[in-house]
Amino acid sequence: MKKTHRSDLLGALHQGAEDLHAIGAIDKATLRRFDLSCLTPVEPLAPDAIRAIRERARMSQAIFARALNVTTSLVSKWERGDSRPGGASLKLLSLAAHKGIDAIL
Protein backbone atom coordinates (compact mmCIF):
# COMPACT_ATOMS: atom_id res chain seq x y z
CA MET A 1 0.00 0.00 0.00
CA LYS A 2 1.33 3.44 -0.96
CA LYS A 3 1.88 5.76 1.98
CA THR A 4 0.53 9.30 1.83
CA HIS A 5 2.73 11.95 3.36
CA ARG A 6 1.83 15.46 4.45
CA SER A 7 4.23 16.86 1.85
CA ASP A 8 6.69 15.78 -0.83
CA LEU A 9 9.51 16.90 1.47
CA LEU A 10 8.36 14.56 4.25
CA GLY A 11 8.07 11.77 1.70
CA ALA A 12 11.67 12.33 0.64
CA LEU A 13 12.82 12.47 4.26
CA HIS A 14 10.97 9.24 4.95
CA GLN A 15 12.71 7.55 2.02
CA GLY A 16 16.03 8.71 3.46
CA ALA A 17 15.12 7.23 6.85
CA GLU A 18 14.24 3.92 5.19
CA ASP A 19 17.63 3.95 3.47
CA LEU A 20 19.39 4.65 6.79
CA HIS A 21 17.52 1.71 8.33
CA ALA A 22 18.56 -0.51 5.41
CA ILE A 23 22.25 0.15 6.11
CA GLY A 24 21.81 -0.21 9.89
CA ALA A 25 22.24 3.47 10.83
CA ILE A 26 18.83 3.62 12.60
CA ASP A 27 16.87 0.88 14.31
CA LYS A 28 13.38 -0.36 13.45
CA ALA A 29 11.71 1.42 16.39
CA THR A 30 13.13 4.77 15.28
CA LEU A 31 11.99 4.13 11.73
CA ARG A 32 8.48 3.31 12.98
CA ARG A 33 8.29 6.56 14.99
CA PHE A 34 9.50 8.50 11.98
CA ASP A 35 6.99 6.71 9.77
CA LEU A 36 4.08 7.72 12.00
CA SER A 37 5.20 11.35 12.12
CA CYS A 38 5.26 11.55 8.29
CA LEU A 39 1.82 10.09 7.59
CA THR A 40 -1.11 12.37 6.91
CA PRO A 41 -3.08 13.01 10.10
CA VAL A 42 -6.75 12.14 10.30
CA GLU A 43 -8.92 15.26 10.43
CA PRO A 44 -12.17 15.50 12.42
CA LEU A 45 -15.35 15.10 10.36
CA ALA A 46 -18.44 17.27 10.58
CA PRO A 47 -21.84 15.57 11.01
CA ASP A 48 -22.84 16.49 7.44
CA ALA A 49 -19.63 14.93 6.09
CA ILE A 50 -20.37 11.66 7.90
CA ARG A 51 -23.89 11.60 6.50
CA ALA A 52 -22.52 12.34 3.00
CA ILE A 53 -20.08 9.40 3.25
CA ARG A 54 -22.95 7.09 4.20
CA GLU A 55 -25.26 8.42 1.51
CA ARG A 56 -22.57 8.11 -1.20
CA ALA A 57 -22.23 4.47 -0.15
CA ARG A 58 -26.03 4.12 -0.42
CA MET A 59 -26.24 2.56 3.03
CA SER A 60 -28.74 2.84 5.81
CA GLN A 61 -27.43 3.87 9.22
CA ALA A 62 -27.72 0.26 10.37
CA ILE A 63 -25.65 -1.17 7.50
CA PHE A 64 -23.12 1.66 7.74
CA ALA A 65 -22.77 1.02 11.47
CA ARG A 66 -22.16 -2.64 10.83
CA ALA A 67 -19.43 -1.79 8.27
CA LEU A 68 -17.74 0.39 10.91
CA ASN A 69 -18.33 -2.12 13.72
CA VAL A 70 -20.28 0.39 15.82
CA THR A 71 -23.90 0.71 16.89
CA THR A 72 -26.62 2.29 14.80
CA SER A 73 -27.32 4.76 17.58
CA LEU A 74 -23.68 5.88 17.50
CA VAL A 75 -23.87 6.60 13.76
CA SER A 76 -27.06 8.54 14.42
CA LYS A 77 -25.33 10.56 17.17
CA TRP A 78 -22.42 11.34 14.83
CA GLU A 79 -24.79 12.55 12.11
CA ARG A 80 -26.72 14.74 14.58
CA GLY A 81 -23.52 16.14 16.06
CA ASP A 82 -24.27 14.75 19.54
CA SER A 83 -21.04 12.75 19.46
CA ARG A 84 -17.83 12.80 17.43
CA PRO A 85 -16.01 9.77 16.03
CA GLY A 86 -12.49 9.15 17.22
CA GLY A 87 -9.73 6.58 17.04
CA ALA A 88 -10.30 3.65 14.72
CA SER A 89 -13.80 4.82 13.76
CA LEU A 90 -12.47 8.18 12.59
CA LYS A 91 -9.72 6.47 10.62
CA LEU A 92 -12.26 4.17 8.91
CA LEU A 93 -14.53 7.11 8.13
CA SER A 94 -11.59 9.04 6.65
CA LEU A 95 -10.65 6.06 4.48
CA ALA A 96 -14.24 5.75 3.30
CA ALA A 97 -14.36 9.48 2.55
CA HIS A 98 -11.17 9.47 0.49
CA LYS A 99 -11.21 6.02 -1.11
CA GLY A 100 -14.83 4.94 -0.98
CA ILE A 101 -16.68 2.49 1.23
CA ASP A 102 -15.05 -0.49 -0.49
CA ALA A 103 -11.74 0.49 1.16
CA ILE A 104 -13.09 -0.56 4.55
CA LEU A 105 -15.24 -3.54 3.65
Q: What is the pLDDT of residues 52-93, one digit of tens each?
A: 999 999 999 999 999 999 999 999 999 999 999 999 999 999
23 and 71 in a single domain? The answer is no
**Predicted confidence band at 1 (pLDDT cuts at 50, 70, 90)?**
very low
Asked if residue 61 belongs to a domain, the reply is yes
What is the span of the domain harbouring residue 29? 8-38
Asked if residue 3 belongs to a domain, the reply is no
Residue predicted with more confidence, 65 or 10:
65
Asked if residue 1 belongs to a domain, the reply is no
pLDDT at 5: 62
pLDDT above 90 (res 11): no
30 and 67 in a single domain? The answer is no
Asked if residue 77 belongs to a domain, the reply is yes
pLDDT at 13: 85
Give the chain's domain count: 2
Task: Pick the closest to residue 96 from 38, 63, 37 (CA basis).
Answer: 63
Asked if residue 21 belongs to a domain, the reply is yes
Asked if residue 54 belongs to a domain, the reply is yes
Other CB atoms within 10 A of residue 101 CB = 20
pLDDT at 3: 61
90 and 45 Cβ atoms separated by less than 8 Å: yes
pLDDT, one tens digit per residue, over 12-54 is 888 898 999 999 999 999 988 887 877 667 899 999 999 999 9
54 and 99 in a single domain? The answer is yes
33 and 51 in a single domain? The answer is no
52 and 31 in a single domain? The answer is no
Torsional sign, CA 104, 43, 87, 56 = negative
